[in-house]
């Protein structure tokens, strides 16, 4: 009995010793943590309960519901703005920003205001051949700007003498004038032709014997050696073949009064580099500008109701047909047809981009364009097959393949 009692006591002691070696159970010691308010730039924490020993946080004072404390977002600065240097028309200003909460300061550069100019006022009237001047003033700083006014140009009376400066306009000698009868049967004016003139630079005066020069006679200057013509006349019509074959003519500039350009009027004027058309033009013959192989630019008065010069092209507004192109043409998206011989023999054009709006390319349209090496259609190969193409539309042009961009 004694031995058994001793062994039992030893076993009990060992069990007690093992139990004493384990960690004691943790009991939270809960305390309230006051709110940490946010600042303008840093977050804060709402008031919450936490254990003093392990730091675990709770939403209740008994430590039964663990929860993260609510994060309080920064306020952001509450700046008040004070202008310390006012911006001027051409100089920057400066403002000081001060936060009402934390006192932090920042600077803001104020951009220059720029000038506020009044309306332009004429300070020097232009003369017939001399420029004038107009000016305007800034309402803030009184700075003045000036710009020239273009010369007014001469206004001629029936004697071809300017009514303002008395300068006389002398037409080229030797020109011939043919009478034009009006609808009432009376003499309305004259048409002009080269006559016996040997001048290479032709000047056409507005009046002859007190009546207006209204037209260039049919074939009036055909195959002549003229290099330039300037019409001060109120021309309304340029007759058929009027300047046909004038291979030395360098430019074509028609006055605003011209309404019609007859068939073949400038046919084969191979040295012409620029074409300028006025505001009243209503009708152009189909071969009026045929084979202008040196043509580099086209311009049409913006008030012309029938024709447009968009993209450096001559375009009929009502139909979208491109009548004539130049070396610098960019074909607009509104073009529906490129007419017969539109770019025929143009030696300067190097690239052409055809919009999908085009449904027809006319006879000989790009024929003879020996520098045209890039030809792009802005649609698919299938759509290109549907575009009608006239005979010889690209004969002797430099490009070999059509590039498709669609």
pLDDT 10s digits, 174-231: 999 999 999 899 999 999 999 999 999 999 999 999 999 999 999 999 999 999 999 9
Give, for 135, the enclosing helix (H) or strand (E).
strand 132-137
Taking the domains of the chain in order of start, what are their residue ranges? 132-169, 304-406
- Tell me the longest C-alpha to C-alpha distance in the chain: 166
pLDDT tier for residue 233 given thresholds of 50, 70 and 90: confident
- Dump pLDDT digits (tens) for 378-391: 999 999 999 999 99
- Dump pLDDT digits (tens) for 349-388: 999 999 999 999 999 999 999 999 999 999 999 999 999 9
- Dump pLDDT digits (tens) for 47-83: 999 999 899 999 898 988 999 999 999 989 999 999 9
pLDDT exceeds cutoff 50 at 9: no
pTM, two decimal places: 0.70
Please give the Cα distance from 93 to 81 (Å, whole number): 13
Check residue 315 and give its pLDDT: 98
pLDDT exceeds cutoff 80 at 23: no
Burial 31-51 (b: 16+ CB within 10 A, else e): eeeeeeebebeeebbeebbbb
Report the Cα–Cα distance between both ends of the chain, in Å, rounded.
Answer: 111
Give, for 306, the enclosing helix (H) or strand (E).
none
Region 95-117 average pLDDT: 94
Instruction: Characterise 250 by phi-psi region: left (phi > 0), alpha (psi -120 to 50), beta (else).
Output: alpha
Nearest of 353, 314, 321, 326 to residue 339 by alpha carbon: 321
- Residue 41's alpha-carbon distances to 108, 198, 314, in angstroms, are 19, 90, 66
What percent of the chain is predicted at pLDDT more than 70? 94
Region 320-347 average pLDDT: 97
pLDDT tier for residue 26 given thresholds of 50, 70 and 90: confident
Check residue 24 and give its pLDDT: 64
């Amino acid at each position: 009995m004694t031995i058994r009692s001793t062994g039992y006591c030893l076993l009990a002691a060992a069990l007690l010793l093992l139990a004493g070696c384990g960690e004691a159970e943790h009991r939270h010691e809960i305390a309230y943590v006051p709110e940490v308010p946010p600042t303008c730039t840093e977050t804060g924490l709402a008031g919450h309960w936490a254990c003093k020993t392990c730091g675990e946080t709770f939403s209740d004072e008994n430590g039964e519901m663990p929860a993260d404390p609510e994060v309080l977002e920064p306020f952001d600065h509450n700046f008040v703005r004070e202008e310390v240097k006012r911006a001027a028309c051409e100089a920057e200003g400066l403002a000081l920003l001060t936060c009402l909460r934390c006192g932090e300061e920042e600077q803001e550069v104020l951009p220059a205001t720029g000038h506020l100019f009044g309306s332009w006022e004429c300070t020097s009237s232009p003369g017939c051949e001399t420029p004038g001047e107009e000016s305007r003033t800034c309402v803030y700083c009184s700075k003045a700007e000036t710009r020239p006014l273009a010369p007014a140009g001469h206004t001629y009376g029936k004697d071809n003498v300017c009514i303002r400066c008395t300068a006389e306009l002398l037409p080229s000698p030797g020109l011939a004038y043919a009478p034009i009868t009006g609808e009432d049967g009376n003499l309305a004016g004259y048409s002009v032709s080269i006559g016996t003139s040997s001048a290479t630079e032709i000047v056409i005066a507005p009046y002859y014997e007190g009546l207006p020069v209204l037209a260039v006679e049919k074939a009036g200057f055909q195959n002549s050696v003229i290099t330039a013509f300037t019409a001060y006349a109120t021309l309304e019509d340029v007759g058929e073949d009027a300047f046909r074959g004038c291979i030395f003519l360098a430019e074509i500039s028609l006055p605003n009064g011209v309404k019609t350009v007859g068939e073949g009027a400038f046919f084969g004027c191979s040295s012409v580099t620029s074409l300028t058309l006025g505001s009243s033009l209503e009708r152009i013959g189909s071969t009026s500008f045929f084979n202008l192989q040196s043509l580099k630019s086209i311009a049409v008065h913006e008030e012309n109701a029938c024709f447009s010069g968009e993209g450096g092209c001559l375009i009929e507004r009502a139909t979208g047909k491109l009548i004539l192109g130049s070396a610098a043409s960019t074909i607009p998206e509104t073009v529906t047809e490129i007419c017969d011989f539109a770019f025929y023999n143009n030696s300067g054009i190097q690239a052409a981009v055809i919009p999908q709006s085009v449904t027809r390319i006319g006879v000989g349209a790009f024929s003879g364009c020996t520098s045209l090496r890039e030809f792009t259609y802005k649609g698919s190969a299938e759509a290109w097959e549907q575009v009608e193409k006239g005979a010889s539309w690209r004969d002797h042009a430099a490009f070999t393949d059509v590039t498709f961009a669609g």
